[in-house]
Amino acid sequence: MRLPFPALARRSFADDHIAEVVAVSSTEYSAECLPPQDLQFPSVPPLGTWVKSASAGTEPYTVIGVVCFASTMPIDTVHRAIALGLSLEELRQQQPQVFAMFRSEIRVAMLGYQTAHQIYQHLPPQPPPIHQGVFLCSSQEIIDFTDTVHFWRTILQIAGVPVDELISAILRQVYQIRKCDRNWLVQASKHLSVLLKDDYDRLRAILAQVHP
pLDDT score for 167? 97
Q: Contact 55/94 with Cβ under 8 angstroms?
A: no
What percent of the chain has a predicted confidence (pLDDT) above 70? 92
- What residue spans of the chain are helical by DSSP H? 88-94, 139-145, 151-156, 163-177, 182-195, 200-208
- What residue spans of 2-123 are helical by DSSP H? 88-94
Query: Residues 6 or more apart from 116 whose CB is under 8 A from it?
Result: none
What percent of the chain has a predicted confidence (pLDDT) above 90? 64
pLDDT score for 19? 95
H helix or E strand, kind and range, residue 140: helix 139-145
pLDDT digit string, tens, across residues 154-168: 999 999 999 999 999
Predicted confidence band of residue 24 (pLDDT cuts 50, 70, 90) = very high
Distance CA 124, CA 161 (A): 21
pLDDT digit string, tens, across residues 63-89: 999 999 999 888 877 777 778 777 778
pLDDT score for 152? 95
- Of the two residues 199 and 85, the one the predictor is more confident about is 199
Residue 168, φ and ψ in degrees, nearest 5: -60, -40
Question: Collapsing DSSP states into helix, strand and coil, what is residue 28?
Answer: strand
Residue 97 has pLDDT above 90, yes or no: no
Q: Output the average pLDDT for the chain.
A: 86
pTM (2 d.p.): 0.85
pLDDT score for 158? 94
Please classify residue 127 by burial: count the beta carbons closer than 10 Å to its beta carbon, then call 0-12 exposed, 13-18 middle and 19+ buried. Answer: buried
Q: Contact 144/71 with Cβ under 8 angstroms?
A: no
Task: Calculate the CA 89 to chain-centre distance.
Answer: 30
Query: Residues 6 or more apart from 16 whose CB is under 8 A from it?
Result: 135
